[in-house]
Chain A
């Protein structure tokens, strides 16, 4: 889905490093999401931003810090991660509507993170 881009696509970092993941959506959506996908586990929702406000924090450790400066950009700042944080991190966006029916979320290609 070229409407949602993520950089970098691959990242290797040590436990003491600080890095950031970037997501950009070109779909005119007003909601953005961070998901984590670990091997053999379901996709886990981490954060939800609606109209640039964080509306969901799914009990994520503080070593993950999201930032949404505008409706098109979403960051995930990483610091002092653990090896078990190695996973595919996916960004998604959607256009929120009210009433019956949810909004289709479109995913970026993901960042494959390895923590040494």
Chain B
């Protein structure tokens, strides 16, 4: 069983729409959750982290965490073509900040 699961996509949304990216994880003991964005040929860059159940907003991005359902999501409001990238969900699992990544969801925002 994969530890962190994401739909590979591509998720295609029109410019200005809300993009919704989802992630589930298997380790109930996980406490820390991260969303990274990765453009093609580049390294991952942090978008947001979330530790507590509920929503966390940062600009156009909102992370949502539901530990009971072992579910993390990322909402991108007013999507722009520049948001087109692969979005990686990552979960701290185990000691020494072992970060487990999902395979990523490719988002395509079309004008």
A→B interface (CB under 8 Å): 1, 31, 33, 40-43, 45, 48, 50, 55-56, 88, 90, 94, 96, 100-110
Chain B count of residues within 8 A CB distance of the other chain = 25
Stretch at the interface among B56-64, B67-75, B77-85, B94-102: B94-102
Say yes or no: A101-B96 contact (C-beta < 8 A), given A90-B43, A109-B43.
Answer: no
Q: How far is the CA of A106 from the CA of B88 in the complex (A)?
A: 14
Q: Mostly helix, strand, loop or mixed at chain A's interface?
A: loop
Enumerate chain A residues within 8 angstroms of B96, measured Cβ to Cβ: 31, 48, 50, 55-56, 96
Contact of A42 among B49, B97, B103 (CB under 8 A): B103
What 5 new A-B contacts, CB under 8 Å, besides A55-B96, A102-B32, A108-B43? Answer: A42-B101, A96-B96, A104-B34, A105-B99, A109-B42
Known A45-B98, A48-B96, A48-B97: A104·B104 in contact at CB below 8 Å? no
- Please, could you name 27 A-B residue pairs with CB atoms under 8 Å apart, sorted by A? A1-B43, A31-B96, A33-B99, A40-B103, A42-B102, A42-B103, A43-B44, A45-B99, A45-B100, A48-B97, A56-B95, A56-B98, A88-B43, A96-B96, A100-B31, A101-B32, A101-B51, A102-B92, A104-B46, A104-B49, A105-B97, A106-B46, A107-B43, A107-B45, A108-B43, A109-B42, A109-B43
